[in-house]
Amino acid sequence: MDVRILGSVELALAGRPVPLTAAKQRALLAACAIDADRVVSTARLVDAVWGEEPPPTAEALVQTYVSALRRAIGRPGAILTQAPGYRLALTPGRCDAHRFETLLAEGRAAAAGGDDETAADRLRRALAQWRGPALDGLHSPYLRAYATQLDELRLTATEDRIAAELRLGRRHELIGELFQLVGTHPLREQLREHLIRALWRAGRRADALAVFREVRQALRTELGIEPGPALQRLHREVLAADEAPAEVLPPGTGSLAGRDTEFRRLRRALTGPAGEPVVVAISGMAGTGKTALAVAVARSVAADFPDGLHFVTGPGREIHAGPRALLVLDNVTTEDRVRAALPSRFRGAVLVTGRRMLTGLDCRARVDLDVLPPAAAVAVLAEVAGRARVRAEPAAAAEIAFHCGGLPLALRAAGGWLAARRRWPLSACAARLRDEHGRLDQLAAGGLDVRGALAASFAGLGEAEYHAMTRLALAGRTDFTPELLARLVGLPVPAAERLADRLLDARLLDAAGGASPGGVGYRLHGLVRLVALEQDQVMVPPRSCQVHVPLA
């Protein structure tokens, strides 16, 4: 059974419509569906059907309409008599209004989390539930009040969906729809703001300014008020700009599973008090998803930066940006690169990514990404390979995540390999990853190259660092105390610790708690270990030939 109220009220059984010719019967069904699977009092049903002037026999007539509905549905228990009224045995998912509200909430949550692709998709699906004005043809004050609330939600959902699509750069596709919407809702300032922004970003500055003049005149004439602060601020920005704001972020580059805390922290920092330039930084070893997180955060705060978003990667170059832009500097290696990038009179924000932590920068927020814990790692794999496949083979999925060491890039590569082989079980990928001699070859799919990303961290190492990485890799383990590390590399502990500091800075080792007296230790990621062996053109030796160092 499915009840539809987002349009004229309809009842369907097994996908086939059930005729409901009487308006009062439709009103009673709608009132029950609004509170699906909850008791609705007879008094409320009377109010929904007749409004303020019910007939003296209204309660008896409600019983008659309920009986008629039961016959139309033809299923025992569909409408239950429960004091003080009746309960329609309908799960919320079987009413289009409840489906709409669920999808709307999912879309808004995705937008708040910076996932505009998912937000736009959920909001489009929410709006697809509609067939016309809510509760069309029903006129009791109770139902009209609820219909007005639903119609307003429909309009705000449309505004939210357009905002998400604008952040995705779909301005040209939206302009025609927005002109139609502002024609229908001429005093709706949020729609006018979206249209002005779309026209401006499409290079149609004069048209954008004309839209502002139109809405200002309409508001003065109809309501005797001026446009709100947000619309006036956007108007000033369009007037002051020489050209359309830049918006050149790359598309989303990976999953944000397990990164919710970091996302919220960075977003708060970028949307905090303005004035002086704001710098926030993301660091972490290669493949941890720094760029994916930066792009998601930048998209989520795009509306706060009227001079646009600029994405710059690679060696330093001059950046031409307005004073209130957001600069995303990807793969930065030195603090000087950030300082040199700031344009004159800059009052915007800079979001920096790089392997090093760049501790010389004065940052409002700093996030250092670690590898993912097992549950989040499996979630990343599921997003690429398919959730149903992961649910069907949880043990194989966990093994793949383990062999990937929780590294997002490796998980996406493994997932991509599986996505290209839809009929193969996950256990086939897990079996291949068990062989560490071929593991890096297996983790290359769809342009994702774990070997190449990790090997880039070895660039610029000196002979001592190369030698140390080889010795650590040959040891056949991943955790080291300073004393063990010193014995492996053949140096006194203080010298070995200084060498380890350089490897930490290059993100080839991670700092970890240890069993040493000072609680200090080092960790070598399993995939970095395999790359280290290849860098020295050393094959993994048999167990009997591996380097053995006394541990006590």
Q: Give pLDDT tens digits for 219-264.
A: 999 999 999 999 999 998 888 776 666 556 666 656 788 898 999 9
DSSP letters for 414-474: HHHHHHT-TTS-HHHHHHHHH-TTSHHHHSEETTEEHHHHHHGGGTT--HHHHHHHHHHHH
Q: Which two tokens stand for residue 136?
A: 């069309």
Question: Please, is 101 exposed, middle or buried when counting C-beta atoms within 10 Å of its C-beta (0-12, 13-18, 19+)?
Answer: middle
Rg of the Cα atoms in the chain? 31
3-state secondary structure of 227: coil
Question: Please, is 60 exposed, middle or buried when counting C-beta atoms within 10 Å of its C-beta (0-12, 13-18, 19+)?
Answer: exposed
DSSP letter at 4? E
Count Cβ atoms below 10 Å from residue 220 Cβ, excluding itself.
12
Q: With beta carbons less than 8 A apart as the criterion, state whether 118 and 99 touch.
A: no
Separation between Cα atoms, residue 1 and residue 32, nearest integer Å = 13
Per-residue model confidence as pLDDT tens digits over 317-353: 556 677 788 889 988 888 888 887 777 778 889 999 9
Q: Strand 10-13 to strand 2-4: parallel, antiparallel, or no bridges (unpaired)?
A: antiparallel
Q: Which of 180, 179, 217 is nearest to 196 (CA)?
A: 179
Question: Please, is 441 exposed, middle or buried when counting C-beta atoms within 10 Å of its C-beta (0-12, 13-18, 19+)?
Answer: exposed
3-state secondary structure of 352: strand
Q: What is the pLDDT along the chain (552 residues), one digit of tens a residue?
A: 889 999 999 998 877 888 887 888 899 999 999 988 889 899 999 988 898 888 999 889 999 889 888 888 887 888 888 889 899 888 878 889 999 999 999 999 888 877 788 888 899 999 999 999 999 989 899 999 999 999 999 999 999 999 988 887 788 888 989 999 999 999 999 999 999 998 888 778 889 999 999 999 999 999 999 999 999 999 988 887 766 665 566 666 567 888 989 999 999 999 876 667 899 999 999 999 998 999 989 988 887 887 778 888 755 555 667 778 888 998 888 888 888 777 777 888 999 999 988 888 889 999 999 999 999 999 999 999 999 999 999 999 999 999 999 999 999 999 999 998 989 999 999 999 999 989 999 998 767 889 988 988 887 788 889 889 999 999 988 899 999 999 999 999 999 999 999 999 999 999 887 655 667 889 999 999 999 988 765 434 333 334 444 443
H or E, element range at 211: helix 205-223
Edge to edge, the sheet with strand 10-13 lists 2-4, 10-13, 16-18
Outline where DSSP puts E strands in 242-390. 246-247, 278-284, 308-313, 326-330, 349-354, 365-369
Q: With beta carbons less than 8 A apart as the criterion, state whether 206 and 238 touch.
A: no
Separation between Cα atoms, residue 450 and residue 429, nearest integer Å = 16
Q: Looking at domain 460-545, which CATH architecture does it have?
A: Orthogonal Bundle (1.10)
Q: Mean pLDDT score of the chain, rounded to an integer?
A: 86
Q: With beta carbons less than 8 A apart as the criterion, state whether 315 and 340 touch.
A: no
Q: Which of 273, 325, 267, 321 is nearest to 296 (CA)?
A: 267
HEC states along 28-43? HHHHHHHCCCCEEEHH
| Side-chain-side CA neighbours of residue 30 (13 Å) | 32
Distances (CA, A) of 237 to 57, 86, 542: 63, 57, 67
For residue 17, whether the previous peptide bond is cis, meaning omega lies within 30 degrees of 0, is no
Edge to edge, the sheet with strand 85-88 lists 39-41, 85-88, 79-82
Q: Which of 431, 435, 433, 428 is nearest to 443 (CA)?
A: 433
Q: Looking at domain 260-369, which CATH architecture does it have?
A: 3-Layer(aba) Sandwich (3.40)
> Tokens 């999808």 map to which residue?
103
3-state secondary structure of 56: coil
Separation between Cα atoms, residue 190 and residue 212, nearest integer Å = 12
- Under CATH, what is the fold of the domain 169-244? 1.25.40
| Side-chain-side CA neighbours of residue 154 (13 Å) | 21
What dihedral angle (degrees, nearest 10) is formed by the CA atoms of 441, 443, 446, 449?
A: -80
Q: Which two tokens stand for residue 77?
A: 């228990």
- Under CATH, what is the fold of the domain 1-153? Arc Repressor Mutant, subunit A (1.10.10)
Separation between Cα atoms, residue 285 and residue 506, nearest integer Å = 8
Alpha-helical segments (H) within 346-393 = 374-385, 387-392
Per-residue model confidence as pLDDT tens digits over 4-46: 999 999 998 877 888 887 888 899 999 999 988 889 899 999 9
Q: Which residues, 6 or more positions from 259, have their beta carbon under 8 angstroms from its beta carbon?
A: 289, 293, 369
Q: With beta carbons less than 8 A apart as the criterion, state whether 503 and 529 touch.
A: no
